[in-house]
Structure formats: C-alpha cells, structure tokens
Structure 1
C-alpha cells in the first residue's frame, strides 16, 4: 500500500466522518476505484469510516447504493485485521447501517475476521444489545470454512461466553435453548459458559445489595406466574409499581434479569446432567462451583449441588467446597453448603497441606473480603467470628491438631493476624485519644455551668429563675451532659488501658466503643440544649424570638457529629449485637 494515498484521500475521509456525500460524489463519479480505497493505516475504506461514526447514515446509504451499482463485492472490503464494514457496525452498535448492509449482501453476516469473529460475536464482545439481537436473526447456522457452524464448538462457545461477559443473560438463555450443546463446549480461553457466569455476581440477586425501600419494591414486583390470569395480574401490578415508585423501572428490569439468570443456570445444569456423563458433569459443574465460591454466588452453587449433589467433593487447589467457603470467607456459601449436605462430614476434612477447617479459618481473609468490613478493629472481629463459628463444628481433637508446619489452628490465627491486630489497636487508641479530649472538655464545661446558673442567685444561694421551665431544661440538660461526658471519658480510658488481646476485639472493645460514642453524642446534644436554654433565659425580655434560631444553630454541630459517627456506630452495633452472618437452618 502507498501510504501517501492517505493524504490524497483525505477529502474522502473527512466527508465520511462528516456525513457529507455531496463533497465527494464527483470523486467517485470520476474514480470508481476510490469506493473501496484504503484511507487509513489500518486499511479502512470510506464505508468502514462512515459506519464507524454511527452518525453518517446518509453517506452510508448513498455509498452502499453506489457500490452495489458498480461492484457489490466491495461491500465485503476488509480492514487490515479482516473486519468488514458490518464488523464495524457491530462494534459501535450501528444497527441502522447493519440492516442496510445485510439487505444488500446477506452473506456478509457469515464472514469472520482474522480472530475468527463474526460481526455477531463482536456485537456481544462490545455489549451492543440491539445490534446483537438483529445479527442473531440474520446470521445463519451453516457450516463455515473451518468445517463447523458458527453456533457450534469453540466458535459457538465464544459467542455464549462473550454474551455472558457483557451481562446479556436473556440472549444467552436464547442461545442455550436454541443450541443446547453449547453448554458443554469450551471457548478459546478454555472456559464453559457456566464457568464464565460464575464470575458475574452482579447478574445474580446476591450481587446486588439493595436499600430497605428498594428491597420492598423488588419483592412486591410479581413475575413468572403460571396461570394466565395471574400473569395478567402480575403485569398490571408491575406496571403500577413502575409508575408509582421512582426506581420502580430499574427494580423491574433488575428482577427480570435475575429471573432470566436463574432460569439460565437451571437450564444449563439440566442440559449437563442430561448428557449422562459423570466426567462431563464433574468438569462443567465442578469448575463453575469452584469459581462461584470465590465470587460468593451461592445461587449458582445451590442449583449445581441440587442437580448433582456429589459435586460438593469437587477439589480446587486442594480445597473442597466447604473448605473453599471458609478460605474465601463466603458466609452465604458456607451456610448453604452446611444446610444442603445434611451432615457435618466436611468439618472433619483435611486438605493436602494438612490444614483442617480450623487452620483454614485461622488464616487471614483474602483482601477483597476483608475490606467488606470497614476498620481494622471490625475486621479483626469478623475474623474471630469466622474462627469461632468453624470451631463449633470441628471434632475436639482438631482444635489442637498440628498441620504440616507443626502449628495449631490458634497459632496459625495469631501469626496470620498479628499485623491486623496491631492496626486494630492503633485505630482504637487513636479514636479514643481524640475523643477523650472532647469528652473532657464537655465534662469541664458542664461541671462549671452547674455552679453558674443563668440569672444569678438570691441571698440564700438559690437560683433566681428556679421556677422557670426553661431553667429546669437547662439544669436537666447540664446534668445529662455531665453524666454522659464522664461516662464517655471513662469508656475511652478503658479502651486506652485495654490489654488488646485477640479476644478483646470479639466483644469487649466494640462494646466499650459503642458506649463511649453514644455517651459522647448525648453529652454534646445535652450541652447544646443547655446552651440554648441559657441564651433563651438571658435574652427572653430583649429578644423574645431568640429561642428558635438559637436552637436551630445549636442543632447543626450535633447533626454533623451524628452524620459523621452514626455509620460507624451502626456498624459496631450490627456487627456485635446484630444477627449472625451464619444463618444455618438445620438442627445439629
């Protein structure tokens, strides 16, 4: 190729970019060979450029008509990487021009680029849903140059996994229903569709944590009811929710997607088990389960185990399913497997490294799971919760058993968590030190205020405003501020003088921190009330309306403190006193 032609063909390039057919029509009249001229270093033709803009539709229309009139084969002109103009349309989601191309040359949909990708697969790869559905309609299931169909073997598996990677579970469900053999095929990366799906937690309910109100809306949206009358009722209720709730449409689409995903998993497992081959089921379901346990997709694991219960013994890196749930700190998977297996045999299972389940629980959580809890202190608490939960289910002799490094589970826990222990101690001390200063200041102010009553005292030392209700509010608020601030200081001092043993992070230290924070908040709130009451008493004659603005201003620091500290307090309370993350329903 003469790359100087790029300069000479620059007017065509600009016209294709700007949808300006009139600027270059005379060039094509005089030089028809320019219709497929290579305008760029990547051998892109005017049709490639115009379609790639996804806006030069008029130029594309006229260009296609001119090419068909002169030489229809030029519609199939390829770039350096073997991409046709239809490949470009698939990349950018240009469905409008894709329809024009296929209408003139239906066979262009079957063409592959140098990577073996059809335009259909590129639409899936780049997440172009509308174009993907259209190309599914026009791409034929016929034998290609490599002797296989585009919807079979590696090529077909590629299509399904690319679709799942893009999050289009509805398209994948259509493909699996139409071409069921794709479920057991591996793509060019050596992965099955079920294994790829196991890496996508966001397409499952467990991967989409909802706020309380969102959860209510989600549960109220009825779907997939069997009877026709119920379907009509469900449709009506769903439409009402979508109209009434601001986020109703999003919730509806999310729930629909989740139902499609779960249906897809069930269909895939049914197809696999229907093959009647243990080796096939072991490979396809096992790899999916071992991947899902790392991402925490318990819904997929549940369907796989229900379909083929023996899959719980699939081994990945020396770990069975139950042990993997412990290693990767997936409590939902842990609970699920414990409930579904109906026995405790896993608790007495070693791995090849000589670690029993308690050794595995004693090792530090993977960083992504550790970071799901904020703060080193609460992270240490969560690690202790895991260790103690697993300890409940192992045989007594396993609690002091030695692994290949001659270490007990507790020794493993101590060694693995020594840095986290130091971080938790530092966080507790820093928080307590700074908060103690604030609490001490409140103690000082509240104590002094008790002996300097607003309005002064009479000759007997009694406050002049003793019978005033606002004065009573001042006295009560000041007393609460003094008692609460003293309590907070004492609790923070107790934290500072703690021994900071591992067990302290399980209950004692979080409890003290909760009491200290609540007390500090009460003392600040009471101090602001006492201050507001004092101003109202002193200025009630000169400025009668002073109470409202003063109270409003006083609420600002209290509100700020609550906003800044409340999330931490909630997490402390929930983690320490809230429902356990281990919710096993079966009895021992």
Structure 2
C-alpha cells in the first residue's frame, strides 16, 4: 500500500532498495535530496536544473504507480523517458478493431507470390521449380508479411528437398537475406534442428555462421536460446572462436555461455570458459551473469538431488567418472572432471566396455552415472567461473551480483557452491551484503544447517564470524528468531513440528552464542526471544490447532478400541461353562493368545486416551512445542498403534477358536484380512510417528553432543 503517496510501500527489511529508489526521486523532485545526500551542487543552469527536477517528478510518478516487482526490474534507471519506453515495450497496445485491413506489406509481395508460397507449403518441388523457371528473381523476393523469402518459408515448412533446390539456385548473398526479425533462413533451420538444411546452407556460405539477427545474436546463440542442444553442439565446433570473445560488443560469448548453463550443457560451457575465462564474469544480452545462473541450478549439483539409499550407495561407491571429452573450436580435447584420465591400455578398454554394457543393461545405473557426470561437470564449471572472482574489484563484484548469487546458492542449499567459493576466495566469509549479513548470517535466515556448519571449521576465526550484526542491529540469535522461509517449512509435516524445528534452531544458536546476545535489542527494540514470539505468533496458533485436531481424532479411535476390548473381555469366544463359570476354551493356546492380546489392547488404548487427553488440556506455551507436546503425541500414537495391532490379534484368535472345529480353513483368509487395518494405519500414521521420533530425539541441527562448539 502506498505510504502517503510518497513511496510504493512502507519500508521493511526486505524492500529497502525499492523504497530507496522511489524516495530518492521524490526528494529530488521536492528539492530535498541535497539535504539527505549531502550533495549541495545540483545540475548547474536554470534549464538543466529544471529538467532534472521534472525528470525526478516523472520518475517518481511512474514508480509509485507500479508494483514493487516493476521498480526492482528498472532499478538504477535515472531517465523517466527510458523507463516509460521500456514499460511501453513490455505492455504493447493492442491493434484497434478492423486494423487487419490496414496491414501494411512493407517490402513483401504477398499476393504476387501466393502461388509460390502454396507450392512450398504443399511440398510441390516440381511446381516450385516450374514457378521459379518462369520467375527466376522470385528466389530472392520477400513473399510474406514477415518479409520471409521462399527459403525461409521452405525451412519453416520443413521441406528439405525444396530447401536444397532453392540453395542451389541462390547466390551467396541471397542466403544472407533476413526477415523482419533479422533472422536468416539458416538461423531458423538451427532453431528447428534441421541438420540437413543447415549442412547444405553452411557448405555454400560459411559466413552464415557469424551473421547476427536484429538482437545481435549469431546462429549458435539463437539455437542455444531455443534449447536446440544437439544443434548447439554442431554449431559450437564450427563457429569461429574469436566471435565469442568477451571483448565483443554483441556479448555473443557470454550469452552462449549462459544459455549452455541454463540448458545444462556443461561440457561445452567448460570448454568455452577455459578458452575465455572472462566470459564467466561478463554480462550477456539479457543482463545476466554466469555465476547467477549457476546459483539457480541446484539440480545440477549433488546437494540438489535426492536418491533412495541404494542409489546413493551406488552413486558414492560404484560410479567412477572417467574420461568424458569434447572437441572444441580449436580442435583441442578438454577434460571435464578432475578424474578424467581415459584408459590407455587393453585392460582399461575392457573395463570401459564392461561399464558401458552394464549401463545399457541396467537403466538405473545409467541414470545414476549420468547424474554424477552432470554433477562433476557442474562443479568443474563453477570452479572455472569462480577463478576470476579474486581478480575483481569491489565494484565489479557488486556489478556481477556476487552477493545475490551467494544468497541464492545458500537458499537452494548448494553446499558445493559455498565450498568452492570459500576455497578459491577465503575472504568471502567476511563479505557483507546490502543488509550487512555474511553468508553465515544468511545460512541462519534461510535455515541451511549444512552451510552454517562451515563456521565450525574456521578455528580461531569462528568467534569473530559469529559475533556479527547486520545493519538492523540483529545479532545471529535475532536472525534465528525470524520465521523460516516457506520452502524450508513445507517439507515438515504439520505446523506443530514446524514450530518445533524453529525452536530447535533458536535453542541451538542460543547454546553456542554469548549469553549477552539474549538481551541485546535490535533497531525495533526487540530481544531475540520477543522477536521469536512476534514472528511465530501465527505458526504457534496453527501448531496448537494441528496438535489438538490430531489428538482429538486419535482419541476417538482409542476410545472405541478401549470400549470394544472391555466388552469382549466378558463375552469370550466359545462361551462360559455354566457349571464352573470358566471359559470353555480356557486350556486352548489360541484362547490364551486371545486373552493376552485383548488385555494388552485394552491397556494400550486406555493409555492412548489419557495421553491424548493430556495433549488437549496442555498449556501450549512456546517451549512446550520443543519436547513436551511432541513427546506426548509420540506416546499416544505408539500406544494407539499397539492397541490396533493387539486388537486384530485378538480378533484373529477369536475367529480361529470359533471356526476351528468345522470351518478351520475359513479362519485363515479372515485372519489375513484382519491385517488390512494395520497396513492402512501404518501407511497413514506410522510415517508421522517416525518423523516425530526423529525430529524430537534425533533433531540436533549442527551441534555435537560434547558442546565443543560453544563460545565462552
């Protein structure tokens, strides 16, 4: 909501940059910026100063009328005219009604060559040759509203034979003709991965490999932007390497590199960065940097991949990546992993053959091998990009968005990214982002324990690293008091366990930080404890509701089981001997099983009822969610599960006792069917019980039990 018509939204810790951009323009327009910034020399000259103020007013008007995302997108632009034009490009006006009759043909001769167009679309090769025999110049005419030539149309229609015939009739310059998008027919063929068409045109005119469209993109870049992976491999080897140099104004090299990263073609990306290391820190045509894109590819790393236990064992113990090589532009052969050392003797060749055979016969092993190969290549690519980081100035690091890339990598839990950047650039542990937070502070905010654990490897530097504050005067305990991002809570079942996890983070940070941190106030005059209560107010309410609903549901089931088991104890199967008053089948082993199972079920269900009653009547203070409430729920669920199992055992025993004389065979399928409720309960509730057990009693986040990590 706009704040008094001055800014788009009220200042918070998360919107400072947008707020600053909007308020700065307002202050300039009101003549107050010099007071705030200390700059007492606005543009000289009456006219120039007037334009400066008017520009700021216009910028401010645009910004407060746009959403936060738009301000963030155009942040740093100081021209109202440029921002207006960029908004107009993003939101083009629709054509007025009836404007189809006023479409202007440009250079196209649409109606004159309609016959040629139809023959190409229909794949009529002889008809096309006959038409061009009568009109030889038509081969170089633009025959559609999009300024496509006959060759463009044939490529788009996928008519390979017609393309070959047209290429044979055309001059070298004819092949270079572009449509209104600046695309040659060759470029369109690369997008559609029409290899035969590309080969024919490339053989006749190699210059096509370097022609740019109206956006300055050469064919290999265009193909990469359209994710034509195999075509990219084909074109990469044939494209002159000098056109991909980082110094070129069209930024083809950086754009290609970033497209390769986005599509996961890491072997070519490694080859390109090794030839031109600066491409890793060069802006592409979309104003992106390679390091930013890598930070948004968690699936390319082991930390972003989830394997079942046996696949993980194969991944770690059985898969060994050996030589995977690519042919580069200069004909050099490059290795893509540290372990790439191909076998050079007969035994090694035999091993390679066996590996290939196993991968072919066992699809899962091939999948695991390919995943590990991708992960190794991604790490190698990251290492190549990060090698340039120590050589950059502070301003250059801000320009490439290093802080944002590190933040994104931490957010996605990319341990490999943090490992590599600390190894290649150790001083990064002291670097602060715009909020004054180091990577360890962000690891706490984003709840990434494996990344925060790096702090314990710092030795004597650990104390300094932990005693930092951000620009809002938050210490590390304040940051632990903040609510976790939704992505970190969503995988935890139930609001109560989510609340428990938040408390575990807060408590474990409290144990390793100095006691004085618990009393420190941030700029909002909140201690860590009060901030925790404020941030988790809603989650605590949801946790209480979840816990009570779960307890009430389970309590109903436990009560029904207790009632049935109590009644069954006095109506034993087979009845009671009227003379002695003892059960008729008292000496039967099956009867003893029945009595024992019935008693255990009654005791367990009664215990479950009492435990869940305790959950319903609990105080529900914050600390209760740490162990007290989860502990009660665990006991209640366990006794409920035990009562169900013993109840079904009692039922099966009763059926066996009743039918064993005449229909003994019937008791077997009935007893088997009695396991169905147990199976259903196991599938529906047992995973929750296991999760609660692990979270409550095995839920240490990053501390060892000996307390060595505590700061004195």
Q: TM-score, normalised by structure 2?
A: 0.75
Does the C-alpha gap of structure 1 residues 21 and 344 become closer, same or farther in structure 2, counting only changes over 3 Å?
farther
Does the C-alpha gap of structure 1 residues 187 and 313 become closer, same or farther in structure 2, counting only changes over 3 Å?
farther
What runs of 5+ residues in structure 2 fail to find an aligned partner? 1-103, 323-338
Residue 484 (1) aligns with residue 596 (2):
no
1:439-489 CA-to-partner distances (Å, cap 9, x unmatched) read: 111111111111111111112221111222222222222222212212221
Does the C-alpha gap of structure 1 residues 508 and 108 become closer, same or farther in structure 2, counting only changes over 3 Å?
same
Contact kept, 8 Å, 1:82 with 1:113, in 2: the verdict is yes
Residue 213 (structure 2) aligns with = 113
Residue 200 (1) aligns with residue 297 (2):
yes
Residue 374 (structure 1) aligns with = 493
1:208-227 CA-to-partner distances (Å, cap 9, x unmatched) read: 12111210121121124477
DSSP-derived class of the 1:343 partner: helix
The CA deviation at 1:33 is 4.3
DSSP-derived class of the 1:352 partner: coil
Does the C-alpha gap of structure 1 residues 440 and 303 become closer, same or farther in structure 2, counting only changes over 3 Å?
same
Distance 2:249 2:311 in 1: 41
Distance 1:149 1:322 in 2: 33
Contact kept, 8 Å, 2:223 with 2:231, in 1: the verdict is yes
Higher deviation after alignment, 539-548 or 16-25: 16-25
How is 1:229-240 mapped onto 2 (pairs within 5 angstroms)? 235=352, 238-239=355-356
The CA deviation at 1:332 is 1.6
Residue 102 (structure 1) aligns with = 202
The CA deviation at 1:185 is 1.7
Distance 1:527 1:50 in 2: 75
Distance 1:520 1:480 in 2: 11
Counterpart of 2:478 (choices 344, 352, 359) is: 359
Residue 151 (structure 2) aligns with = 47
Residue 292 (1) aligns with residue 412 (2):
no
DSSP-derived class of the 1:222 partner: coil
Counterpart of 2:568 (choices 425, 428, 449) is: 449
Residue 377 (structure 2) aligns with = 260
DSSP-derived class of the 2:387 partner: helix
DSSP-derived class of the 1:317 partner: coil
**Structure with the largest fraction of helix:** 1
1:183-208 CA-to-partner distances (Å, cap 9, x unmatched) read: 23222344431232112111111011
Distance 2:405 2:188 in 1: 33
Does the C-alpha gap of structure 1 residues 465 and 84 become closer, same or farther in structure 2, counting only changes over 3 Å?
same
Contact kept, 8 Å, 2:217 with 2:250, in 1: the verdict is no
Residue 506 (structure 2) aligns with = 387
Distance 1:426 1:349 in 2: 37
Contact kept, 8 Å, 1:471 with 1:534, in 2: the verdict is yes
Contact kept, 8 Å, 2:291 with 2:405, in 1: the verdict is yes
Contact kept, 8 Å, 2:250 with 2:285, in 1: the verdict is no
- Compute the RMSD of aligned alpha carbons: 2.9
Residue 443 (structure 2) aligns with = 325
Residue 140 (1) aligns with residue 240 (2):
yes
Residue 414 (structure 1) aligns with = 533
Residue 301 (structure 1) aligns with = 418
The CA deviation at 1:538 is 1.6
Distance 2:111 2:580 in 1: 103
Counterpart of 1:222 (choices 301, 311, 320) is: 320
Residue 279 (structure 2) aligns with = 182
Higher deviation after alignment, 447-456 or 183-192: 183-192
Contact kept, 8 Å, 1:151 with 1:179, in 2: the verdict is no
Residue 310 (1) aligns with residue 424 (2):
no
Count of aligned pairs between the two proteins: 580
How is 1:439-518 mapped onto 2 (pairs within 5 angstroms)? 439-458=558-577, 459-518=579-638
The CA deviation at 1:513 is 1.6
DSSP-derived class of the 2:306 partner: coil
DSSP-derived class of the 2:674 partner: helix
Residue 81 (structure 2) aligns with = none
Distance 1:474 1:40 in 2: 87
1:237-269 CA-to-partner distances (Å, cap 9, x unmatched) read: 744652564411110000011111111122222
The CA deviation at 1:119 is 1.6
Contact kept, 8 Å, 1:142 with 1:150, in 2: the verdict is no
Distance 2:560 2:625 in 1: 28
Residue 34 (structure 2) aligns with = none
Distance 1:488 1:20 in 2: 81
Residue 91 (structure 1) aligns with = 191
How is 1:517-556 mapped onto 2 (pairs within 5 angstroms)? 517-556=637-676
Q: TM-score, normalised by structure 1?
A: 0.90
